[in-house]
Structure 1
Amino acid sequence: MPKFVRAFLFLPFLATPAAAELPEPVRAMLEAARASGDAAVFDAVAATARQTNPDDAAEIDALVGEVHAARQAAAAKAAEAERLAIEEAGPLDRWSGKGEIGAFTASGNSSSTGLTAAVELMRAGNEWTHSLRARADYQRDNGRTSREQFFGAYEPRYQIGENLFAYGLAQYERDRFQGYSGRYALSGGLGVTVFDGPALDLSAKAGPAYRHTRFIAGGTEDSLNALVGLDFDWRFAEGLALTQDANLVAAAGGEAVAIIGGRSTSVTLVTGLDAKVTDRLTTRLAFTLDYDSKPPAGAVETDTLTRFTLVYGF
């Protein structure tokens, strides 16, 4: 083959420069960021490396892709391990909660100061979530009881879709000063999660409800109702949260939770302000309003209760 033909055939290879290798200091910097385990640090270092070494962008992108793939694989492995741990846990495992104790002032059917205590337990699974709540307000003045209010509820939830859930509710209340020795409610229905984020949680639920009431003065009442519930939490600043729960029972048709039906309209509205002290300890200022449009004889329509409590998470 003539020399000029061979030169012509090999000219493209001679004219194309060899691909530049990533400078060792840049590679060392990326590897150090990768070894730190901090995703934000690595992504920031990689972005800087691309800007300062545009000719090595392809090699940098390949390394970034490798790191992201490893990160996703680790997250998937951790999620699967968590799922299996939840499935294999016993019925008494994986419960968390918080206890609350403090003082209150009351107006309405009773005007006094006293003590309040509460506990809330929760167990979150893959599809099921179980919640147990109990509260007691009790006061004695000069050897006689001036306030006696007890509340307990169990609520299981089943997650149907990303934002849709089914719920059940069994609830017990006792309040001598509102005129009933026992008020029991059973409900079940559907709910939707409207917001579920780092700053705002909002969910609503609705369904039929059955309520049985035993009055202090004697007699009972059974009624079929409709329940509507609202749960709102707003973490508006570092360590601060505003909570809003309401319980409405209306004769014609509403934690916010609404039970609608029966002989009267009753509303329980709870507004709270939480301030974080430590990772486990929180102070809470809460205002509760109880309203019954048809209270028993000798009772007034509206009770209010202001609580200042310490809350311990466990």
Structure 2
Amino acid sequence: MPQLKTFALTVAASGLVLIPAAAQAELPDPVRDMIVAAIATGDDAKVRTVIDIARTTNPDDAAEIDAMLATYETQLAANQAAEAAAEQEAIRSAGLFDNWSGSGELGAFNSTGNSSNTGITAGLALTRDGINWRHKLRARVDYQESNGVVTSEQFLASYEPNLRLSDRLFAYALAQYERDRFQGFSARYAASGGLGYDVIVEDNMTLSVKAGPAYRRTEFLLGQSTSNIAGLASMDFDWQIAKNIALTQDASAFIQSGSSTYTSGTGIQAGVADNISVRLSYTIEHDTNPPLGAENTDTLSRITVVYDF
């Protein structure tokens, strides 16, 4: 009865390499060399395609081919486990300013509602991913000045830590600050905490929702202030339509007695160079009971250049 050759795997600079351990094997040398070359590329899809072809064209040697595949898969799993362990250790030992990624954008806006102007807009979004924690920092400013007089001024900053409870479920906390004199308030603070869920998790599409109780304090221009217990509900949808085109849809609602706030933002982003893209977005903000003399609804249309880092 023919004797099957055994194999060993080593890791070379180019990836996994299969080395025959004995010289007696029924599998033709050109076929074996083809499988070894595929493994050396480190491309798992290519390895499996080559092995499928080898099995089809050499059915009598299927056992030897299967043994090669089993050895390859064992070593591949071991390498992946080692890489995952090294990555987790790097995350655990990272400093406060390590492992941040994000984007910055700069451009122009056009507003309607409490102010009808065209001005400059700038934004910054930072994210730090850990093993179970994620931290998000967001900031945005929209500003316009005409003849030395400020005619549009909006500021927003937020910090949101998330704690992963399962593959899709997470807990969140949120601290947010806003300023918009043309909506009638000099400062609006919000704090919230609750649960979120990743409804869709795909390579090209994600959808997350979250909800929880909230506290909001609004300081008006004339000196009065209000504090309210509210409820927060929000969603975050991202869709990579094509390689260089992405669609985003964000929406949130602070629901409370007095004046609730509903916000919706839609954007489309197109890549134009490495790490650089152009973004068009449209935001609607509606307050059910704004200060006296203020409009209920504001809109902002923005065109910005975005740099990812």
Give the drift of 1:290. 1.2
Partner of 1:87: 92
Deviations 1:149-173 (A, max 9, x none): 0000000000001111000000000
> What is the letter of the counterpart of residue 204 of structure 1?
V
Q: Which residue of 2 aligns with 1:178?
A: 183
CA contact (8 A) 2:2 2:26 kept: no
Residue 212 in 1 paired to residue 207 in 2? no
Question: What's 2:38 paired with?
Answer: 33
**Structure 2 residue 241 is the aligned partner of structure 1 residue 236:** yes
Aligned pair 1:189/2:191, yes or no?
no
1:52 to 39, 53, 57: 57
Distance 1:100 1:233 in 2: 18
Offset of 1:266 from its aligned partner? 1.6
The aligned runs of 1:69-80 (5 Å cut-off) are 69-80=74-85
Q: CA deviation at 1:265?
A: 2.2
C-alpha contact (below 8 Å) 2:132/2:164 kept by paired residues:
yes
Cα distance, 1:17 vs. partner? 6.8
Report how many aligned residue pairs link the two structures.
289
Aligned counterpart, 1:154:
159
- 1:274 is aligned to 2:269: yes
Q: Secondary structure at the match of 2:273?
A: coil
C-alpha distance in 2 between matches for 1:300 and 1:275: 33
Distance in 1 of aligned mates of 2:274 and 2:186: 39
Cα 1:162–1:17 change in 2 (3 A) is: closer
**RMSD over equivalenced CA pairs, Å:** 1.2
Instruction: State the partner residue of 2:305.
Output: 310
Question: Structure 2: how far apart are the matches of 1:301 and 1:222?
Answer: 20
What residue is the counterpart of 1:136 in the other structure?
141
Task: Report what 1:224 is aligned to.
Answer: 229
CA contact (8 A) 2:109 2:119 kept: yes
Percent identity (aligned): 52
Equivalent residue for 1:43?
48
Matched to 1:111, the amino acid is S
**TM-score, normalised relative to structure 2:** 0.91
Q: Which moved more, 1:273-282 or 1:123-132?
A: 273-282
- Secondary structure of the equivalent of 1:277? strand
Q: Which runs of 4+ in 1 moved over 4 A?
A: 16-20
**Offset, 1:218:** 2.0
Normalising by structure 1, what TM-score? 0.90
Q: Gaps spanning 5+ residues in structure 2: where?
A: 5-24
Where 2:37 maps in the other structure, the secondary structure is helix
Task: Name the structure 1 match of 2:111.
Answer: 106
Q: 1:67 to 1:264 in 2, by over 3 A?
A: same
CA distance in 1, matches of 2:117, 2:214: 34
Gaps of 5+ in 1: 1-15, 249-258
The structure having more radius of gyration, on CA atoms, is 1
The aligned amino acid for 1:234 is W
Distance 1:232 1:184 in 2: 25
